[in-house]
């Protein structure tokens, strides 16, 4: 349903369209030459909607019309802001836009229907995850021989994999024992896998060492540690020689990955490091494409409310160069 | 523990934060080379084994093509696909996108 059908936007519509963003699953932004009329916030409605979609962690797809010689300065600035964390698509006309958005929706649907998961040190897409609490079944179609080999190596009858490993999806992480790995050759280039996992702990249980240190509470320690490990900021003096208290998270592996894969892998690594270790109940990661300079990263997490409500924490900055050395 | 670096999969060594561990960090190896999984303190604390393979990331499956009925089923589970743009300038684009989304089984909310 288009707002035009109701006679257009009026002064009272600000709240209405932001609530529309809140209800949506996918935000599609389209930008041509005009920025749009300013709202009382000093930004256009489209710009406000985009920011609301970011704030609410919606899936975002923004399209910019080709050309742009007559594009308003505010519209250019808006596009630059979008490109910090998102790859924008281009289009020539309405038909072209529809065709490209269709293709993008197929990709988004594929992400939904084949979610990325991490089992031990293997990151792959699952066709289906059936979670019964203490028992989890993961079904996957694998085309990469190295990944197939790594999954077969998880069989619990091999002595080196008898110990529990972390199983992580985009929101939860828990320790599991791999009880069964069934591989079926479904095609010359693909193998079907069924992985049966026995959960050792519930997804939100805490296993990390959490401690207040010299005026930093446990969540401050987590934040300072993430700033250090992801953004390259120095650890504060209070944490000198106490870095072991900070979450063991590194995004170095994503440096070599294309944007469409890097964001999903970064999410898994942060969920494993924060949710899996009991530092947070929810994590949201945004990773910029980094095509022109360093990758931008934004991590928001909800600390555990150990006794009292805790406000969400956010860090944002340029992702630390993977080749640099932590001190 | 030895692992082979794959051409198709992204096989990436994990870093070992020096603040917590003084063991040497594995260097990146060329495709096809056999490398030894390196040790890290964080892995020791979790697994207690002292040996850790590198991260193996599947990039080949990301191109999976959905069938039309899979896409339609997915769209029907979506609440709203929200179209955000200047209205007058992009009226045709908005209208065609909304038609496409609704034809797909989803709902288009647009301002």
In eight-state DSSP terms, residue B89 is T
- Which helix (H) or strand (E) segment holds residue B68: the answer is helix B68-77
In eight-state DSSP terms, residue A227 is I
Q: What's the first-to-final CA gap in chain B, in angstroms? A: 57
Query: Is the confidence at residue B50, as pLDDT, over 60?
Result: no
Query: Is the confidence at residue A48, as pLDDT, over 90?
Result: yes
Query: Is the confidence at residue A43, as pLDDT, over 70?
Result: yes
- A105 and A171 belong to one structural domain: no
Residue range B12-29: average pLDDT?
38
Q: Residue A212 — very low, low, confident or very high, per pLDDT cuts 50/70/90?
A: confident
Q: Percent of chain B scored above 90 by pLDDT?
A: 9
What stretches of A188-304 adopt beta strand conformation (E)?
Answer: 190-199, 280-287, 296-303
- A77 and A135 belong to one structural domain: no
In eight-state DSSP terms, residue A208 is S
Strand partners, A286: A298
Q: Do B93 and A30 touch (CB under 8 A)?
A: yes
- A235 and A298 belong to one structural domain: yes
Decide if A212 is inside a domain. Answer: no
Q: Which two tokens stand for residue B89?
A: 């300038």
Decide if A209 is inside a domain. Answer: no
CB pairs < 8 Å spanning A and B: 227
Select, from the ranges A164-168, A260-264, B38-42, B65-69, the one with the highest average predicted confidence (pLDDT): A164-168
Decide if A208 is inside a domain. Answer: no
Nearest Cα of chain B lies from the Cα of A264 at a distance, in angstroms, of: 11
- CB contacts, 8 Å: B45 with chain A: 244, 248
Which pLDDT score is estimated for B38?
A: 32
At which of A50, A79, A113 does a domain end? A113
At which of A113, A143, A172 does a domain end? A113
Query: Is the confidence at residue A162, as pLDDT, over 80?
Result: no
Residue range A94-99: average pLDDT?
95
As for how many domains chain A has, the answer is 3
Residue range A46-52: average pLDDT?
93
Of A266-270, B32-36, B80-84, least confident by mean pLDDT is B32-36
Structural domain boundaries, residue A62: 3-113
Q: Do B94 and A29 touch (CB under 8 A)?
A: no
Q: Percent of chain A scored above 90 by pLDDT?
A: 53
Average pLDDT of chain A to the nearest whole number = 86
- In B, residues 39-98, which contact A (CB 8 Å cutoff)? 41-42, 45-49, 51-62, 64-66, 70-71, 74-75, 78-87, 89-98
Q: Which two tokens stand for residue A19?
A: 């609530």
| Each residue's pLDDT tens digit, A51-84 | 999 988 899 999 999 998 999 999 999 999 999 9
Which pLDDT score is estimated for A209?
A: 67
Q: Which of A72, A92, A91, A75 is nearest to A83 (CA)?
A: A75
Cα A88 from chain centre: 17
- A98 and A146 belong to one structural domain: no
Q: Residue A101 — very low, low, confident or very high, per pLDDT cuts 50/70/90?
A: very high
- Is the CB of residue A17 less than 8 Å away from at least one CB of chain B? yes
Q: Which two tokens stand for residue A163?
A: 């110990």
CA distance A119 to A129: 12
CA dihedral sign of residues A216, A221, A222, A228:
positive
Q: Do A113 and B83 touch (CB under 8 A)?
A: no
Query: Is the confidence at residue A318, as pLDDT, over 60?
Result: yes
Residue count of chain A: 327
Q: Do A1 and B98 touch (CB under 8 A)?
A: yes
CA dihedral sign of residues A23, A29, A30, A35:
positive
What three-state secondary structure class fits A75? Answer: helix
Decide if A210 is inside a domain. Answer: no
Residue range A180-193: average pLDDT?
86
- CB contacts, 8 Å: A125 with chain B: 58, 61-62, 64
Q: What's the first-to-final CA gap in chain A, in angstroms? A: 55
Sheet holding A173-187, edge to edge: A128-131, A135-142, A190-199, A173-187, A165-168, A116-119, A122-125, B55-57, B10-12
At which of A141, A171, A199 does a domain end? A199
Domain residue spans of chain B = 1-63, 68-110
In eight-state DSSP terms, residue B87 is T
What three-state secondary structure class fits A302? Answer: strand
- A167 and A234 belong to one structural domain: no
Which pLDDT score is estimated for A4?
A: 55
* Per-residue CA distances from A119 to A33, A52, A152, A174, A196 (Å): 46, 33, 12, 10, 11
Decide if A323 is inside a domain. Answer: no
The count of other CB atoms within 10 Å of the CB of residue A19 is 12
Of A135-144, A306-315, B37-46, least confident by mean pLDDT is B37-46
Q: Which of A33, A29, A52, A38 is nearest to A9 (CA)?
A: A38
Q: Do A13 and B74 touch (CB under 8 A)?
A: no
Decide if A205 is inside a domain. Answer: no
């Amino acid at each position: 349903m288009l707002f035009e059908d109701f006679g257009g936007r009026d002064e009272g519509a600000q709240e209405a369209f932001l609530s529309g963003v809140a209800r949506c699953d996918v935000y599609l932004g389209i930008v041509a030459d005009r920025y749009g009329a300013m709202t009382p916030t000093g930004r256009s409605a489209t710009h406000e909607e985009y920011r609301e979609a970011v704030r609410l962690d919606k899936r975002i797809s923004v399209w910019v019309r080709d050309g742009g010689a007559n594009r308003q300065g505010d519209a250019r600035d808006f596009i630059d802001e979008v490109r910090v964390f998102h790859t924008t698509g281009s289009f020539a006309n309405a038909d072209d836009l529809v065709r490209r958005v269709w293709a993008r929706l197929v990709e988004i649907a594929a992400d939904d229907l084949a979610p990325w998961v991490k089992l031990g040190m293997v990151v792959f897409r699952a066709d289906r995850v059936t979670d019964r609490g203490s028992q989890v079944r993961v079904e996957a179609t694998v085309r990469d021989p190295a990944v197939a080999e790594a999954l077969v190596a998880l069989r619990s009858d091999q002595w080196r994999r008898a110990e529990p490993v972390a199983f992580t999806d985009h929101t939860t992480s828990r320790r599991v024992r791999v009880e069964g790995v069934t591989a079926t050759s479904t095609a010359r280039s693909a193998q079907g896998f069924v992985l049966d996992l026995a959960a050792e702990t519930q997804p939100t249980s805490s296993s990390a060492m959490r401690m207040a240190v010299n005026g930093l509470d446990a969540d401050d320690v987590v934040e300072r540690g993430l700033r250090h490990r992801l953004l390259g900021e120095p650890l504060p003096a209070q944490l000198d020689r106490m870095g072991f208290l900070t979450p063991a998270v590194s995004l170095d592996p994503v440096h070599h990955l294309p944007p469409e894969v890097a964001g999903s892998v970064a999410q898994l690594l942060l969920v494993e490091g924060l949710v899996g270790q009991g530092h947070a109940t929810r994590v949201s990661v945004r990773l910029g494409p980094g095509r022109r300079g360093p990758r931008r990263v934004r991590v928001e997490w909800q600390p555990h409310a150990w006794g009292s409500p805790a406000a969400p924490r956010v860090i944002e900055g340029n992702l630390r160069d993977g080749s640099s050395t932590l001190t | 523990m030895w692992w082979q670096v794959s051409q198709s999969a992204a096989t990436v060594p994990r870093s070992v934060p020096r603040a917590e561990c003084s063991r040497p960090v594995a260097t990146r190896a060329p495709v096809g080379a056999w490398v030894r999984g390196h040790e890290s303190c964080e892995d020791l604390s979790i697994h207690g084994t002292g040996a850790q393979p590198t991260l193996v990331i599947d990039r080949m499956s990301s191109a999976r093509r959905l069938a039309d009925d899979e896409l339609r089923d997915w769209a029907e589970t979506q609440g709203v696909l929200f179209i955000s743009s200047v209205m007058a300038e992009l009226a045709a684009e908005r209208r065609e996108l909304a038609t496409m989304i609704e034809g797909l089984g989803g709902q288009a909310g647009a301002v």
